[in-house]
Amino acid sequence: MSLEKKKQIAAEAAFDYIQVNDIVGVGTGSTANYFIDGLAKLKGKIDGAVASSVASSERLKQHGIEVIDANNVASLPIYVDGADEATVHKHLIKGGGGAHTREKIVAAISEKFVCIADDSKLVDVLGEFPLPIEVIPMSRSYVARQLVKIGGAPELREDFVTDNGNLILDVHNLQILNPVEMEQQLNNLAGVVTVGIFAIRPADVLILGSDSGPKIS
Ligand code: 5RP
């Protein structure tokens, strides 16, 4: 079965978590796009969506789904988004699409974070996927030097500016054995906006699309 089909299976399984009148937090990326496209069928039943990127916001609007500013909701019952890597502990690497700062904000205000992915994203240890770190442009070199000191190999994402006007360092060679500690440590570097580790606030539900259907944990 193709990875695309597995992403679709995971996205479809997430609809079981949506209730009538929910405002839904919506992620970014190809798996989240399958979810957005399916959400269009429910648009009369939900009260709107909070988007984690300009791209997702535009896709939601194209489907006629009302997009609500995150500042105008006290909390969200549910947030559905993809991941670049996930562990059985529901710790994630996100940010392959460079949207992880807004994704972390949506995750923070959500009661339930449902992560959807194809089963190739499941790993024992996070870090084979280069860790995306959003940085203020002025701090790019400083942060890169600090990352080298801890054994990382940072690479500036070429021709890319985030929705927030910042840069992304993709950090290779990290074996993230303690994701919570690493997230805290990297968050503390001056000029770091957001680290792509989601461990302090992990997913609550992980849905992996597989050959035998959705695997939910
Ligand atoms: C975007 C993300 C995405 O969720 C992540 O990159 C997975 O994308 P895809 O569903 O296309 O594999 O974190 O910033």
**Per-residue pLDDT tens for 19-74?**
999 999 999 999 999 999 999 999 899 999 999 999 999 999 999 999 999 999 99
Query: For 2-16, what is the mean pLDDT?
Result: 98
CATH of the domain at 120: 3.40.50.1360
Mean residue pLDDT of the chain comes to: 98
Q: What distance in Å separates the CA atoms of residue 115 and residue 198, rounded to the nearest whole number?
A: 11
Q: Which of 161, 156, 124 is nearest to 143 (CA)?
A: 156
Integer Cα distance of 58 and 47 in angstroms: 17
Residues 31 and 114 in one domain: yes
Residues 111 and 206 in one domain: yes
Distance 1 CA to ligand 1 centre (A): 20
pLDDT exceeds cutoff 90 at 83: yes
**Number of domains comprising the chain:** 2
Catalytic residue among 12, 58, 66, 103: 103
Query: Same domain for 151 and 165?
Result: yes
Q: Which amino acids bring their CB within 6 angstroms of ligand 1?
A: 27-32, 81-84, 94-100, 103
Mean pLDDT of 118-143: 98
115 and 35 both lie in a single domain: yes
Pair (10, 101) in one structural domain: yes
Instruction: Please report where in the chains the tokens 């974070």 appear, as a residue.
Output: 113
The residue segments making up the domain with residue 57 are 3-124+200-216
Same domain for 101 and 19, yes or no, is yes
Mean pLDDT across the stretch 8-24?
97
3-state DSSP assignment of residue 57:
helix
Instruction: Give residues with Cβ within 8 angstroms of 120, minimum separation 6.
Output: 3, 6
pLDDT in tens, 155-174: 999 999 999 999 999 999 99
Q: What is the mean pLDDT of residues 105-123?
A: 98
- The DSSP H or E segment spanning 25 is strand 23-26
pLDDT at 26: 98
Do 145 and 175 belong together in one domain? Answer: yes
Q: What's residue 69's pLDDT? A: 98
DSSP character at residue 21: T
Alpha helices (H) in the chain, listed in sequence order: 3-13, 30-39, 54-62, 100-108, 140-149, 179-187
User: Separation of 209 CA from ligand 1 center, angstroms?
Assistant: 15
Q: Is the same domain home to 119 and 92? A: yes
CA distance 84 to 74: 28
Q: Is 103 a catalytic residue?
A: yes
Centroid of ligand 1 to alpha carbon of 29 (angstroms): 4
Residue 177 belongs to a domain with what CATH number?
3.30.70.260
Pocket test for ligand 1, best of 26, 94, 115, 194 (most atoms within 8 A of CB): 94
pLDDT value at residue 43: 86
Q: Which atom of ligand 1 is nearest to the CA of 116?
A: 10
- Name which residue sits closest to atom 2 of ligand 1, judged by CA: 95
Question: Which residue has the least CA distance to atom 5 on ligand 1?
Answer: 83
Q: Do 42 and 140 have their domain in common?
A: no
Give kind and range of the element (H or E) at residue 170: strand 167-172
Predicted pLDDT at 139? 98
**pLDDT over 90 (residue 87):** yes
Whether 138 and 55 map to the same domain: the answer is no
Question: What backbone phi and psi angles, to 5 degrees, belong to 207?
Answer: -115, 115
- 7 and 93 fall within a common domain: yes
- Whether the pTM exceeds 0.95: the reply is yes
Q: What is the pLDDT of residue 51?
A: 98
Query: How many percent of the chain have pLDDT more than 90?
Result: 99
Q: Are residues 116 and 205 in the same domain?
A: yes
Residues 6+ apart with CB under 8 A from 119: 6, 208, 209, 210, 215
